[in-house]
Copies of this chain bind each other. A is one copy, B any other.
Amino acid sequence: MTATIPPFLAACRRQPVPYTPLWIMRQAGRYLPEYRRVRSQAEFTTLLRSPELAAEVTLQPLRRFPLDAAILFSDIMTPLQGMGVSLSFEPGPVVHEPIRTDASVDALSQLVPERDVPFVLESIRLVRAGLPAGVPLIGFAGAPFTLLCYLVCGRPSKEFGAARSFLYSNPAAAERLIDRLADAMSAYLRAQAAAGAQALMLFESWAGLLAPPQFERFALRGVRRAVAGLREAGVPLIYYVNQGSALMECVADLDLDVIGVDWRSPLGTVRRKLGPGKAVQGNLDPAALFASPEDLRRHAGRVLDEAGGAPGHIFNLGHGIWPETDPDAVARLIDYVHERSSRQDGTGAVAP
């Protein structure tokens, strides 16, 4: 009850909070009519590269809902263009010359954020100027292995077969690509923090493609290298591990603050595996927003119960919100989580 920093930042650091803070992955997006209006007048790539437009759509959900954090509207592929990768969105990202050889790994240039992606840093400054003091801004990047998936395959696929076989058939080249991406994302995230991002998140969207030994060898190699230089930024670090049920033991000892959890893993189980040194973020099934209001409360309540209450829980969906979602259901969810968690004491028990 006495937190003087915003609840989202306090929860990242497992400090006491007056209620469980909440934000929603892809909260700036197609389920909002005001976002669709902006998109009807600007291509997706234009939106990504226009600080005014990116700041506008970042702020849209904050005007509508009492969310506890903003997240920059951007795409994990954006900095790769700054490294010399030619790509387009059709609508998924398509890399025009997939990277599968030592030579194509070496051809990637190092990212200098101020030179290569100045529009991202300018978006951050504009968003910070438009946000109330109590709502922190999250910056983000793709985790190295997830970026590797797109770079090696060329386009999204269900199995990402070319990326997975690349790890087995040419592990040394895969490690070099991971290292190069980790260095670039580290610089990218440091620059975002310097521009005003108050927390930094790495998205491992494709963690679920890997058996634990491969996850350790490639994905965690990249994450460890990327975060090694980030502690000096002084902001909380979040690692979202999609489809990571079998990987929670692997991430428990990472030097970061919060693990983002998809909807498949009960948070109670996750917290036992992670131990007391990590906060958790998640993990309502995005499909639960299609339930009746009563059922939605029940599903959200189960997530709060599984998390065991504050401190150290940030409520979120387990994956990005779907474009077909009714914004009214989002409003009901936020109200319920805030109201119910404000009746919990610090141990997670609900006051009578």
Contacts and interface: CB of A to CB of B under 8 A. Distances in A.
Contacts of A263: 211
Q: How many A residues touch the partner, as a band?
A: 35 or more
Interface string A239-273: 00001011000000000000000011110010000
Interface in A153-188: 158-159, 161, 164-165, 167-169, 171
Contacts of A332: none
B246 A265 contact: yes
Interface in A204-228: 208, 210-214
Given A161-B324, A168-B290, A291-B169, A213 B302 contact: yes
A161 B208 contact: no
A3 interface: no
Contacts of A165: 287, 290, 322, 324
A246 B269 CA distance: 9
Contacts of A116: none
Contacts of A324: 161, 165
Contacts of A245: 245-246, 264
A322 B161 contact: yes
Given A161-B324, A211-B285, 10 more contacts: A158-B158, A161-B322, A165-B287, A167-B287, A169-B290, A212-B264, A243-B243, A245-B245, A245-B246, A245-B264
Closest 8 pairs (CB-CB, A-B): A245-B245, A164-B287, A245-B246, A165-B290, A168-B291, A169-B290, A168-B290, A165-B287
30 contacts: A159-B322, A161-B287, A161-B324, A164-B287, A165-B287, A165-B290, A168-B285, A168-B288, A168-B290, A168-B299, A169-B290, A169-B291, A169-B292, A171-B295, A208-B208, A208-B243, A208-B264, A210-B264, A211-B263, A211-B266, A211-B285, A211-B318, A214-B285, A243-B243, A243-B264, A245-B264, A246-B264, A246-B265, A246-B266, A246-B269
